[in-house]
Structure 1
Amino acid sequence: MGGIEVIEEINDGNLYLRKISKEDIAFFFQSLKNRDMTNYLSLGPLMSYEHSKRLIKNYLKSWEKYLQFNYVIEIRDNQKTTRVGSVSLWNINWIHQRTGTGIWILPTFWERGIGTKTIALIKIIAFNHLNLNRIEAHVAVKNDRSIKMFKNSGFIEEGTLKEYLSINGDFQDALLVACIKT
């Protein structure tokens, strides 16, 4: 791929995004085995450690094919590293220079600005290094926290996708929010 630079790690001082690895299997399983944590995610709860292992393996294969880039969000300070969530660039369309994004953060780290800082870093990767022009996200209309985070990160609401998400067996609308490279 000409004109792009795949970034395996980026930071803003103490918040780091790093390429997902096999060492993250247990973290993903422990974090995403609860349905409450996965309600608004595109994947359901991880039912077993093996399920988590397959997921990470697929993420790494997609990375190597430049189809999707998954990062672990870490806080690093005083030589201590704490995993707090994950962010992805997925459904990348290299011809039209656009991508989707998704993020999850453990509830104990909510309301600390981590999501907004993470999206700022993923925008740097997408726009400055991957030479993409557009990032979009589909956010459940009831997910007020995520809607606020994306809007605070410069994303604009473009429309409503009717009955787009199935959450606990109920179809719910999603907001289409997007950010264009400036």
Structure 2
Amino acid sequence: MKLTVPTMLTLLRILLIPVLVLVFYLPFKWTNFAAAFIFAFASITDWLDGWIARRYNQYSAFGAFLDPVADKLMVAVALLLTVQKHPTVWMALWAAVIIGREIAVSALREWMAELGQRATVKVAGIGKIKTIVQMVALVCLLYQEPFAGINVFMVGEWLLAAAALLTLWSGLLYLRAAWPVLREDARS
């Protein structure tokens, strides 16, 4: 297995997960900034690895498998940390919607791939918008502190709610795209 630059960036993102957790729990005032910075950096590497793979044709089967795993792990851990620190009904609900949709869509993609229909459930534009909103929300929620008179945490809460709604919407689009195949399989 040859490691491409995009795959190395994806592996870096996975290695940053325990660093994020450790920094999040350190008892220093600067840890909010550091945790938000680590998550933001990881989010940028997510975009960068895809750009490099497309621009320089550095695709690999291992990278194609690992990239979505790294993304989902990083997001799930950031959501769990946020909910643990701010255990409200809404925060838990938004996190559950986002994590639940990721599991459901991953299972749907795997099942559709087994049926030879993977292209039916490819990533849509709404999914990319959802990802951007979700990443910005999590950076705000990890940062938590007011900045220039702006309640960054509240902005993060609203963006997380928007991300959860976009998550539901994109999940329904995936399901709608797969529905003809699901319905046909049920008739068999």
Q: TM-score, normalised by structure 2?
A: 0.25
* Greater RCO (CA < 8 Å, at least 6 residues apart): 2
Q: TM-score, normalised by structure 1?
A: 0.26
Structure with a larger share of its residues in strand:
1
More helix by share: 2
